Amino acid sequence: MENFKEIENKWKKFWEDNAGLYQAKNDSDKKKKYILVEFPYPSGSGLHVGHAFSFTGGDVYARFKRMQGENVMFPMGWDAFGLPTENYAIKMKKKPQQVTKENTDMFRKQMKDLAFSFDWSREVNTTDPSYYKWTQWIFIQLFNKGLAYKKEMPINWCPSCKIGLANEEVVDGKCERCGAEVSRRNISQWVVKITDYADKLIEGLKETNFIDKVKQAQINWIGKSEGAKIKFKISDVSSQISDLEVFTTRPDTLPGVTFMVVAPEHQLVDQIISSSVFQKEEIENYVKNARKKSELERTELSKDKTGVFSGLYAINPVNNKEIPIWISDFVLASYGTGAIMAVPAHDERDHAFAKKFGLTIVPVLNKEGWDFEKKAFTEVEKGEEFNKMLNWVEEKGIGERTSSYHLRDWIFSRQHYWGEPIPMVNCPKCGMIPVKESDLPIVLPEVEAYEPTDDGQSPLSQMTDWVNTTCPKCGGEAKRETDTMPNWAGSDWYFLRYIDPHNDTVLASQELMKYWSPVDVYIGGDEHNVLHLLYSRFIYKFLWDLGVVPKEYPEPYIKRLSHGVILGPDNQRMSKSKGNVIVPETVADIYGVDVVRMYLMFMGPFDSTMAWNEKTLMGVKRYLDRLEKFINSQKENNLASSKEVKMIINKLINGVTEDLEAFRYNTAIAKMMEALNSLSVGQSISLSDIKTLIKLLAPFAPYMAEELYSFFEKTSVHAALWPVADPKFLIGDETTVMVSINGKVRDKLIIKNEELINKEEILRKAKGLDNIKKWIGTGEIVKEVYVPGKMVNLVIKL
């Protein structure tokens, strides 16, 4: 289209004026289809190719389903809280609220330009108080159910920025922003007990249609191990703590336990330091050093084990032998009980530790010829002995069967400004009390300075007017919580808000959730397959337990689709520093939106990684130009389609429909190109078949389709009914049957369809072919295979 700008503007306005075209109807007899694409963080640099790619993928499907007569909900919103906005606001001396408004306005305009058929009447914004009122409400429910609590926790601390950092903000042990070495600091943090839902989150995956890769990633992340907790008696009677509890997956190796190790953070260590005289200084130094180290430093030094003897001994319950208790940072305080029973004969780490400190190695299972002093034998099978020992432990009352998880509780506090205020009040008399639900939302006050404070508190802590409040319980003087929520909080439940975005009394009405739930297709990036998806499922399951969301749907998303990644023309990840960034807007200005959309869908499979290639884009442009020319040359002829043309069209309808249903956009487009190649060879085509071609094009190239369709109809092509193939024109009169000798194709037979079932006749004909006769020669046919309608294979022995 030469005048594509003009056409785009014309139809953009038309769609704007006919807003109902893309709106989801809450009261409809039609089948509902909830298609969700991950809402973006509206950054200052605007919509990038990755957005354009995934949103086009969703848009094609939404348009397709709408034309198939389904009641489609395809909403859009903004995940707008976050550090970049806060930092940008600080730098530009603007309010984050203002920056967010500017950015979302820009994103919305760009999305409309790219013809995404979002239902804008359902737009949500996580930074809107009427939205985060419900994010805060969910937090209060978590608190009321005992799933949110405050705890002193080590966090990543940047001494230069004077700010606590999330793990994602620490790169190679350094602060992402200033590059300073990150240390650890204990800060009182809100923690959410996602671990209570670990089993439910694994179990629930069975209810979903996620691809295996996503399910596996979630299962691995939760990392469930089955085993036992076992208590070891401490032999020193003067010790205030009499037992040391460990978690093990291998109770059957209990006889091989020759020492124990506790993490430097273990409570036993504090007792040792305060009461013991043995090596007091050495122990104190070791512990102090270990606690100072960042997680990274600790794991980096993993090859070489360090540790110190505590002076205490425990008793191995199997043989009553005294075994030393050591302190070492290879044991993690955050996993299991923070203490382990060491079996150096059958565990590599325990073995390395034993060798370094000269500890005893006792094999449980003797492997012939194995040198246990040299290497641990780790391939011990978890057999009968596992259960036998576990039963013995339980009978003796020193332990019990249990599971442990890699999944940690979720640190929910951020010491930043631009996030949802945690709706809690700290009362000196009553403790932590949630804000009254009727007082929600607790609106983020507008402050003058967004910089964090010296002591690592949120900038909100300086707002004394806001901080000082009264206790919701006793009415006395109290202070507000000044931490804000992490980014995930707003994105956990946004899909529910789209269902009922303006409801002021509940986060969404039961009735509407019953109609729209669950999300049928959720399109997003691989980077969110674990955290976002897991947090979101967790919050949903929590709301399900509360009865807030419909009982009929225990899982929020049915199908998860991960979109691929678009690399720069140099096959590298796009980044400003590499100068290989493709801006969709710029390309659309040159070639038109339809070309960009269609090219993005044609590049390759929707979920694969592909490099941008302007030459291939030209191929798509050529196709659209040729299609336009073909239709314009035919539209006034008013001729009938030949049978051959009808077959091309009907096969195309079937092919494109099937491919769209399976998100195989690249092959759908290839089929359209193929059809045009066949049609272009001097064929004439009926008006109804032309309209079919335009309809098939509509999801991909909405502007051009609308323009071409307007020649025939007054109504929008996007409201037209998707074509259905006529079975009469799907199969021809004849079928090609390939004939092969020993599996290699040598010739073919053209057979009338009604004769395809006649095996004997077909085999006779196959053997009669000149080529085949030549191949058989003097050989003997030992086997004849006929696959009806497909092929004949003759096995020849020479």
Contact call for residue 169 and RNA (CB under 7 A): no
Among 4, 22, 34, 247, binds RNA (CB under 7 A): 247
Two tokens, residue 691: 């309209």
Minimum distance, C-beta of residue 521 to RNA, in the bound complex (Å): 18
Contact call for residue 249 and RNA (CB under 7 A): yes
Minimum distance, C-beta of residue 706 to RNA, in the bound complex (Å): 23
Task: Please give the radius of gyration of the chain, using alpha carbons only, rounded to the nearest integer.
Answer: 34
Between 497 and 526, how does the x/- string for binding to RNA read (CB under 7 A)? -----------------------------x
Contact call for residue 318 and RNA (CB under 7 A): no
Minimum distance, C-beta of residue 630 to RNA, in the bound complex (Å): 10
Positions in 41-100 near RNA (CB under 7 A): none
The values of phi and psi at residue 447, to 5°, are -110, 170
> CA-CA distance, 746 to 740, in Å (whole number)?
5
Positions in 754-793 near RNA (CB under 7 A): 783, 785, 787, 790-791, 793
Positions in 395-424 near RNA (CB under 7 A): 404, 406
Among 738, 756, 763, 769, binds RNA (CB under 7 A): 738
Between 467 and 496, how does the x/- string for binding to RNA read (CB under 7 A)? ------------------------------
Where helices occur in 161-236 by DSSP H, the ranges are 198-203, 212-222
Two tokens, residue 784: 């004849």
Q: Is 185 exposed, middle or buried (0-12, 13-18, 19+ CB in 10 A)?
A: middle
CB atoms within 10 A of CB 582: 18
Is residue 293 within 8 A of residue 264, CB to CB? The reply is: no
Question: Segment contacting RNA (CB under 7 A): 29-37, 183-191, 296-304, 425-433?
Answer: 296-304
Contact call for residue 753 and RNA (CB under 7 A): no
Contact call for residue 223 and RNA (CB under 7 A): yes
Contact call for residue 391 and RNA (CB under 7 A): no
Contact call for residue 743 and RNA (CB under 7 A): yes
Positions in 613-652 near RNA (CB under 7 A): 613, 615-616, 618-620, 622-623, 625-626
Contact call for residue 338 and RNA (CB under 7 A): yes
Contact call for residue 202 and RNA (CB under 7 A): no
Minimum distance, C-beta of residue 262 to RNA, in the bound complex (Å): 9
Among 129, 173, 604, 779, binds RNA (CB under 7 A): 604
> CA-CA distance, 640 to 739, in Å (whole number)?
37
Omega before residue 605 within 30° of 0, cis = no
Two tokens, residue 123: 């737009």
* Strand ranges inside 406-476, DSSP E: 410-411, 424-427, 431-434, 468-470
* Between 56 and 248, CB nearer to RNA: 248
Among 227, 419, 592, 723, binds RNA (CB under 7 A): 227
Among 323, 331, 467, 523, binds RNA (CB under 7 A): 331
The values of phi and psi at residue 139, to 5°, are -60, -40
Amino acid at 454: D
Paired sense of beta strands 791-797 and 734-741, if any: parallel
> CA-CA distance, 43 to 103, in Å (whole number)?
6
* Strand ranges inside 176-329, DSSP E: 183-192, 224-234, 243-248, 259-262, 308-315, 322-327
Positions in 666-685 near RNA (CB under 7 A): 666-667, 669-670, 673-674, 677, 680
Contact call for residue 302 and RNA (CB under 7 A): yes
Amino acid at 24: A
Question: Segment contacting RNA (CB under 7 A): 441-449, 552-560, 579-587, 653-661?
Answer: 653-661
Minimum distance, C-beta of residue 759 to RNA, in the bound complex (Å): 13
Contact call for residue 530 and RNA (CB under 7 A): yes
Positions in 118-157 near RNA (CB under 7 A): none
**Among the listed residues 725, 728, 729, the one whose alpha carbon sits nearest the alpha carbon of residue 644:** 729
* Between 126 and 218, CB nearer to RNA: 218
Between 564 and 603, how does the x/- string for binding to RNA read (CB under 7 A)? --------------------------------------xx
Contact call for residue 340 and RNA (CB under 7 A): yes
Contact call for residue 457 and RNA (CB under 7 A): no
* Between 325 and 341, CB nearer to RNA: 341
> CA-CA distance, 775 to 796, in Å (whole number)?
9
Among 298, 473, 514, 559, binds RNA (CB under 7 A): 298
Q: What angle do CA 479, 482, 485 make, to 5 degrees?
A: 140
CA atoms within 13 A on the CB side of 125: 16
Q: To 10 degrees, what angle do helices 83-92 and 96-113 make? A: 120
> CA-CA distance, 89 to 96, in Å (whole number)?
5
Is residue 398 within 8 A of residue 256, CB to CB? The reply is: no
